[in-house]
Structure 1
Amino acid sequence: MKAIRTICGICLLLTGLFMVLPAGAIMAQEPALISEVADKIELTATYTKLEAVSGGTFEFEVKLSYMGQEDRLFDLEAIGPKDWFIAITPSYPKDKRIRNIKLDGGRIAVETIAVQASVPFYLRPEPGDHKVTVTATSGELIGTIDLTAVITAKYELGLTPTNELYNTKVTSGKDNPFSTRLTNNGTAAIDDITFSSDKPRGWIIEYSPEEVNTLAAGESKEININIKPDAKAISGDYAISIRAASNKATAQSLEIRVTVETPTIWGWTGVGIILVVIAGLAVVIMRFSRR
């Protein structure tokens, strides 16, 4: 009988403990189900702002995180500035463009996509920030992220002959004109452009104008060059190099092949001899006429 009372006491004690202690103290609590929260799609990126020169490609990696009970197919869209090329591809491989992506439900589904943005260099986009917006949509569920492509100014000069001929003939000791065209091939204005040259000793190279104060992107200007070889230069081919430069950009050197022709007095001497002969014949004829 005493044993029965002891057993009953233990049972009562255990019953009291079950009533007092929370369920979490007796057994592990089950994890929360996805169905307990509303469906959610989130777009994130480690780098939301990238920088490149005009003509370069901006490539962003965007992570899609979906929390929902059911599988969903999300439509993907990326919108950028006018005339830009925008493409969405898998993170790897990147040889195909995609317009949607399927994300599984019942768990936190994570996928990474690549967003490529570029603008042709010839459009000369303004340096600065340009926004690209990426959106994932499935029914009323929408996720979005704003990315920023920062274009830095590109400074590049070009110098070419106006007649597209890289050779010219000159006379030693004389002024010889040669026309060139200076072009700003960059995306921003270039200021304080000066000219210099590599030339044979004793030669003179002059520029008109001597300096260009400013040249807008895409603008061209004619530069007249005067080539004056040394008066003692002998006939033959020579090379001179013309450069246009500023504190922001240096043009490639314009190489010109110069053929020097020395002035000769033999032509004038021949003319003089002919005139003397004609004069002599005239005198002889006049004398014979008088006889």
Structure 2
Amino acid sequence: MKCKWNRQWALALALALGLAAAASARADAAGSLSLYTPYPAITVTPGESIQYSIDVINNGSAIESAELEVEHLPAKWEAEITADGWSVQTISVKPNDSRSVTLQVDVPLDVNKGTYRFELSAKGKAVLPLTVNVSQQGSFKTELISEQPNMEGPADSQFQYSATLRNRTAQKQLYSLTAQAPEGWDVQFKADGKAVTSVQVDANGSKDIVVEIRPPKKVKSGSYKFPVKAATSSTFAQMELEAVITGTYGLEVGTPTGLLSTDVTAGGTRTLQLQVSNTGTADLRNVELSASTPVNWEVTFEPKRIDKLAAGQKADVTATIKADSKAIAGDYVVDVSATAPEAAADAEFRVAVETSVLWGWLGVLVILAVAGGVVYLFRTYGRR
């Protein structure tokens, strides 16, 4: 009886030891495989593609095989495991060796800002926790922005705005480019140095665009706005550009009749009625009058300065020309200038100098005296 019990105890002990050894072997096998990546937690922006380098390490004494799978991946996220250019589902690793795989995780564009967690699993043998922090709120739209949407200049300026078109969608898009401009204004789009009416932008890509705006010649000073739009059948974006016209500047100097000639006697004076015109679209201030004359001539103006000359307006100025007393008969040139900080103009006047009437009469008297002397001499000495 005692022998029987001993045999039963021996069998039970052997069975227990066998089970323990098997369990230990399974535990060793399960714990021999591990997964490693140097960056298990990273921060990205919406739409980025993450490339994880994963080492599958076998610390055991036998070949280990395991099925690889990404678990708990957030909705709309995509993942793929590759090695040596192949898509991989199962991997085998030699004893005391390791193999590398690449885990690509695509973060969608339309994703909320926050922290996301998922795992790479070697099913039943190892788990690698991964964390992705999305740094900003994602979107599924188009963006059109300009860092300098407002510019200022005179009416003859060409305004150039630099803009960036961003495609925040998951597909390549062909955008048509349009602008609403007042009548007479010219708006052109340029991309890659060429004039365009549409541009193609890759998914989650961007394109630099130049918007050139030219005002009409007779544009009035003021602020002008231009809505600009980039659109496809499914998405669009728009922005507003502004051009501030300060006006054109122009001056003219002349006379009411258009006549630019006169005459004066040597040493005498002549008064001219001048007309100074603002031919631009912006007001002019502090318009100064001056003249360039022959030596010893003088020109004075009344008024000498025009404080303000409105756009399209004219101002009357009286110019008094005084000729040199020793000027001989002939034509002389007097240049009259009108100068403002923003514009200038001049006119050339031809002035004919005539000898004085007094000198003419003196000449006549001299001639008469000489003639009288000759007559006297003939009468007195001719009879002899």
| TM-score category (smaller protein) | 0.7 to 0.9
- 8 Å contact from structure 2 (residues 246, 282) kept in 1: no
Q: 1:289 corresponds to which residue?
A: none
Q: Kindly report structure 1 stretches of 4+ aligned residues shifted beyond 6 Å.
A: 14-18, 21-24, 269-273
Q: 2:210 corresponds to which residue?
A: 114
Q: What is the Cα-based RMSD across aligned positions, in Å? A: 3.7
Distance 2:332 2:363 in 1: 30
Q: 1:148 corresponds to which residue?
A: 242
Q: 2:190 corresponds to which residue?
A: 89
Residue type of the alignment partner of 1:117: I
How far is 1:92 from its partner?
A: 0.5
Distance 1:162 1:172 in 2: 26
Q: 2:221 corresponds to which residue?
A: 126
Distance 1:75 1:250 in 2: 42
3-state SS in 2 of match to 1:252: strand
Q: 1:58 corresponds to which residue?
A: 159
Q: Structure 2 vs 1, CA of residues 245 and 133 (structure 1 numbering), >3 Å: closer, same or farther? A: same
How far is 1:184 from its partner?
A: 1.3
- 8 Å contact from structure 1 (residues 202, 230) kept in 2: yes
Matched, 1:238 2:332: yes
How far is 1:112 from its partner?
A: 1.9
- 8 Å contact from structure 2 (residues 167, 201) kept in 1: yes
Q: Structure 2 vs 1, CA of residues 52 and 213 (structure 1 numbering), >3 Å: closer, same or farther? A: closer
Q: 2:199 corresponds to which residue?
A: 101
3-state SS in 1 of match to 2:325: coil
Give the one of 245, 251, 266 matched to 1:172: 266
Q: 2:10 corresponds to which residue?
A: none
Q: 1:251 corresponds to which residue?
A: 344
Output one character per residue of 1:125-178: Cα deviation in whole Å (capped at 9) or x when no partner. Answer: 225x43222111223522011223233455443223445454443322333243
How far is 1:42 from its partner?
A: 0.3
Matched, 1:197 2:291: yes
Residue type of the alignment partner of 1:31: D
How far is 1:217 from its partner?
A: 0.9
How far is 1:180 from its partner?
A: 3.1
Q: Structure 2 vs 1, CA of residues 208 and 35 (structure 1 numbering), >3 Å: closer, same or farther? A: closer
| Greater helix content | 1
Distance 1:269 1:86 in 2: 75
Report matched runs for 1:260-275 at 5 Å: 260-265=353-358, 268=361
Q: Structure 2 vs 1, CA of residues 89 and 16 (structure 1 numbering), >3 Å: closer, same or farther? A: closer
Q: 1:285 corresponds to which residue?
A: none
Give the one of 10, 18, 25 matched to 1:7: 25
- 8 Å contact from structure 1 (residues 78, 88) kept in 2: no
Report matched runs for 1:16-95 at 5 Å: 28=103, 30-34=105-109, 39-93=140-194
Q: 1:286 corresponds to which residue?
A: none
Output one character per residue of 1:32-56: Cα deviation in whole Å (capped at 9) or x when no partner. Answer: 2458776311012233233322210
- 8 Å contact from structure 1 (residues 177, 225) kept in 2: yes
Distance 1:210 1:67 in 2: 64
- 8 Å contact from structure 2 (residues 156, 248) kept in 1: no
Distance 1:14 1:83 in 2: 79
3-state SS in 2 of match to 1:39: coil
Which stretch of structure 1 is more off in the superposition, 199-208 or 38-47? Answer: 199-208
Q: 2:317 corresponds to which residue?
A: 223
Distance 2:305 2:201 in 1: 62
3-state SS in 2 of match to 1:83: coil
Residue type of the alignment partner of 1:257: R
Q: 1:280 corresponds to which residue?
A: none
The one of the two structures with greater contact order (alpha-carbon pairs below 8 A, sep at least 6) is 1
Unpaired segments of 5 or more residues in structure 1?
A: 274-291
Q: Structure 2 vs 1, CA of residues 29 and 99 (structure 1 numbering), >3 Å: closer, same or farther? A: closer
Q: 1:206 corresponds to which residue?
A: 300
Which stretch of structure 1 is more off in the superposition, 200-209 or 235-244? Answer: 200-209
Distance 1:31 1:259 in 2: 91
- 8 Å contact from structure 2 (residues 287, 338) kept in 1: yes
Distance 1:167 1:121 in 2: 33
Output one character per residue of 1:49-71: Cα deviation in whole Å (capped at 9) or x when no partner. Answer: 33322210001121111122334
Higher Rg of the two aligned structures: 2
3-state SS in 2 of match to 1:68: coil
**Sequence identity, in percent?**
26
Matched, 1:186 2:204: no
How far is 1:181 from its partner?
A: 2.6
